[in-house]
Amino acid sequence: MTAPATESSAVFATRGLTKTYTMGEVEIHALRGVDMALYAGELTVMLGASGSGKSTLLNILGGLDSATSGEVRYGGQDLVRASDRVLTQFRREHVGFVFQFYNLISSLTARENVAIVTEIARDPMTPEEALEMVGLEARMDHFPAQLSGGEQQRVAIARAVAKRPTVLLCDEPTGALDSKTGIRVLEVIERINRELGTTTAVITHNMVIGEMADRIITLRDGRVDDVQVNEHRRAPSELHW
């Protein structure tokens, strides 16, 4: 395992992270001891088949879920033992999420979907700025039902970055999109990472996307299987699948 930077520049570092939960009557061991790190400013792609535990890992990093055991350090803070209030504050100030199914609030327009986050953030951009960054300035007052999938995902990205988060966590952001629209969305994510320097993690089962990353972490059966450093990042527009 090689790391391009020292431990000290790690935004996140996990050690021995496990997660077990029950769904219906089935007990699922989602994570079985994960050790990994995310470094400041880098764009990481986490690859893995479905069920490999990548979404669970992302949720725990983002403070959405709690680990069963192990350690997650964010800066100097241990998130595993953090209280609910601390986690809420952490999400409010530091994390931007993008989900596979966009998860926009259907009763709010694009602008309002972004505003719902900027209204509680400490130093946000305006919803208009954020929507401009994703190229949606013309469709700000449309409701989610009036937007295409790609547009909805771009609203979701605008919503995630509007608070100027330290980390941007994207869970299968292109999973529900065709490849052309998916690439458009990845361009936006790449631009955010480049221009704002936001530490970004994208999870996907699509290996091609790894080519735009600084590092590729592969997960299998709830463990880190492989970490690769990508010396030659490719622009999303050069990718195709």
Partner 1 sequence: MIPAIHRKLLRDLAELKGQVAAISVVIGAGVMVLILAVTSLDAVQLSKQRFYEGYHFADVFADLTRAPEHVRERIAVVPGVDQVETRVRAPVRVEVAGFADPVRGQLLSIPDGRQPRLNRLHLREGTLPESGRGDQVVISEPFAEAHGLRAGDRLRVIIRGRLETLTITGIGLSPEFVYQVGPADLLPDYERYVVMWMNRRALANAFGMDGAFNNVVLTLQAGADRASVIDAVDEVLARYGSTGPVGREDQVSHRFLSDELDQLRVMAVVLPTIFLGVAAFLLNVLMARIVRTQRQQVAILKAFGYGHDDIALHFGLLTGAVVLVGCVLGVGFGAWAAEGLAGIYAEYFRFPEMSFRLQPRVLALAAVVAVVAAALGTWRAVAGAVRLPPAQAMRPPAPERFTQGWLERSRFGRLLDQAGRIILRNLSRHRLKAVLSMIGIALSGALLLLGSYQFTAVDHLIDIQYRQVMKMDLHLPLTDPTSEHALAGLRHKPGVQYVEGYRSVPVRLVNGLRDYRTSLQGLEAEPVLRVLVDAKLRPQRLPPDGILLTGYLADHLGVRPGDTVDVEIMEGHRRTLQVQVAGTVDEPIGLGAYMERRTLNRLMREGPAINGVWLMVDRSLEAELFDALWEVPRIAAIGLIADVEGNFRQYYYDTVLVFMGVLLLMAGTITFAVVYNNARIAFAERARELATLRVLGFTRGEVAWVLIGELGLLVLLAIPLGWLVGTGFALLLNEAMTVDMYRVPFVITPGAYAFSALGVLIAAALSVLMIARRLHRLDMISALKTVE
Binding region for partner 1 (CB under 8 A)? 21, 23-25, 56, 59-60, 62, 64-66, 84-85, 88-93, 95-97, 99, 101, 103, 105, 107-108, 112-113, 115-117, 119-121, 159, 163
Nearer to partner 1, 9 or 88 (CB): 88
Euclidean distance between the first and the last CA atom of the chain, given in angstroms as a whole number: 28
Nearest-approach distance from CB 232 to partner 1, in angstroms: 33
Nearest-approach distance from CB 49 to partner 1, in angstroms: 18
Nearest-approach distance from CB 229 to partner 1, in angstroms: 29
Nearest-approach distance from CB 107 to partner 1, in angstroms: 4
Nearer to partner 1, 48 or 210 (CB): 48
Nearest-approach distance from CB 220 to partner 1, in angstroms: 21
CA–CA distance from 188 to each of 121, 131, 138, 175, 185 (Å)? 21, 11, 16, 15, 5
CB atoms under 10 Å from CB of 82, counted, come to 17
Yes or no: say if 157 and 188 are a contact pair by the CB < 8 Å rule.
yes
Beta bridge partners of 10: 39
| Angstrom distance (rounded) from CA 167 to CA 162 | 12
Beta strand residue intervals within 85-191, DSSP E? 95-98, 167-171
Nearer to partner 1, 115 or 216 (CB): 115
Nearer to partner 1, 36 or 95 (CB): 95
| Of 114, 77, 83, nearest in space to 98 by CA | 114
Nearer to partner 1, 3 or 105 (CB): 105
| Angstrom distance (rounded) from CA 189 to CA 157 | 8
